[in-house]
């Protein structure tokens, strides 16, 4: 069956360190993959999109990689801050304007 | 504020009652999605519209759920004969699909509690 997997356990890191979150998928050939941030009680907020022909995308302290051979995307937050604490969701699209398929999210806690 | 808005933000109802939620998308967006989310889970797809056409409805969705987008602008989601298992956050998102990408912008959600 088709599915997306993200780190199921919460990630706790020290302020200033780099957080790395993983998104693995099976039985898809996505045209692109997206990462969203969600704070408690609020809707997800779009962060980054990376296409299948892109290896890496950066935005300020955020970096996303996309390995279509491994069927994996990594999401990095460098110089992490307590304000980065949230749940991070990955979502992928299989092309042809099909709807997004969502992972369950990974909770990140950055400790001061 | 030109973001996605949802109304109400919170709804408490008794089992068996009907509830209706409203979503106002970003004005130029052609797609509108409804999701349901429970604690610790990702958004669960319910249905989506492209303009006024409802293109897909989740097979997990019972006949008690119905959605409309009558003029291709705002949308309503109705749940009839609510059950305790319907308690969740209901999220609406809109997007402008172009260049093959679908970046979704979410509203604040409506939290439903069924007693």
pLDDT tens profile A28-41: 888 889 999 999 98
pLDDT above 90 coverage of chain B, percent:
73
Query: Looking up tokens 């693995």, which residue turns up?
Result: A24
On the question of pLDDT at A95 being above 70, the answer is no
- CB B90 within 8 Å of CB B35: yes
- CB B114 within 8 Å of CB B82: yes
On whether any CB of chain B is under 8 Å from the CB of A52, the answer is no
- CB B50 within 8 Å of CB A96: no
Separation CA B80–CA B84 (nearest Å): 12
Interface contacts (A, B; CB < 8 Å): 54
The length of chain A is 112
pLDDT above 70 coverage of chain B, percent:
98
User: Cα-flanking dihedrals φ and ψ of residue B44, to 5°?
Assistant: -100, 120
Which residues are paired to B50 by β-bridges? B31, B53
**Nearest chain B alpha carbon to A42:** B108
Q: What is the pLDDT of residues B68-82, one digit of tens each?
A: 998 889 999 999 999
**Distance from the B24 Cα atom to the nearest Cα atom in chain A, whole angstroms:** 14
On whether any CB of chain B is under 8 Å from the CB of A7, the answer is no
């Amino acid at each position: 069956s088709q599915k997306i997997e993200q780190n199921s356990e919460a990630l706790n890191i020290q302020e200033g360190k780099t957080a790395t979150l993983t998104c693995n998928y099976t039985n898809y050939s996505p045209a692109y993959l997206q990462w969203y941030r969600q704070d408690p009680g609020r809707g997800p907020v779009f962060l980054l999109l990376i296409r299948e022909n892109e290896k890496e995308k950066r935005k300020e302290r955020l970096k996303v990689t996309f390995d279509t051979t491994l069927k994996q995307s990594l999401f990095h937050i460098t110089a992490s801050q307590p304000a980065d604490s949230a749940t991070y969701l990955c979502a992928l699209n299989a092309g042809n304007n099909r709807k997004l398929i969502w992972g369950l999210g990974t909770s990140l806690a950055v400790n001061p | 504020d030109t973001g996605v808005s949802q109304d109400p933000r919170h709804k408490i109802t008794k089992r068996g009652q009907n509830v209706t939620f409203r979503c106002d998308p970003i004005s130029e967006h052609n797609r509108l999605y409804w999701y349901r989310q429970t604690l610790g889970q990702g958004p669960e797809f319910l249905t989506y519209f492209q303009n006024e056409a409802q293109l897909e409805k989740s097979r997990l969705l019972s006949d008690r759920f119905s959605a409309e987008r009558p003029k291709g602008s705002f949308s309503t989601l109705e749940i009839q004969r609510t059950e305790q298992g319907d308690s969740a956050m209901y999220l609406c998102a809109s997007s402008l699909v172009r260049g093959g990408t679908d970046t979704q912008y979410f509203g604040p959600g409506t939290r439903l509690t069924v007693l």
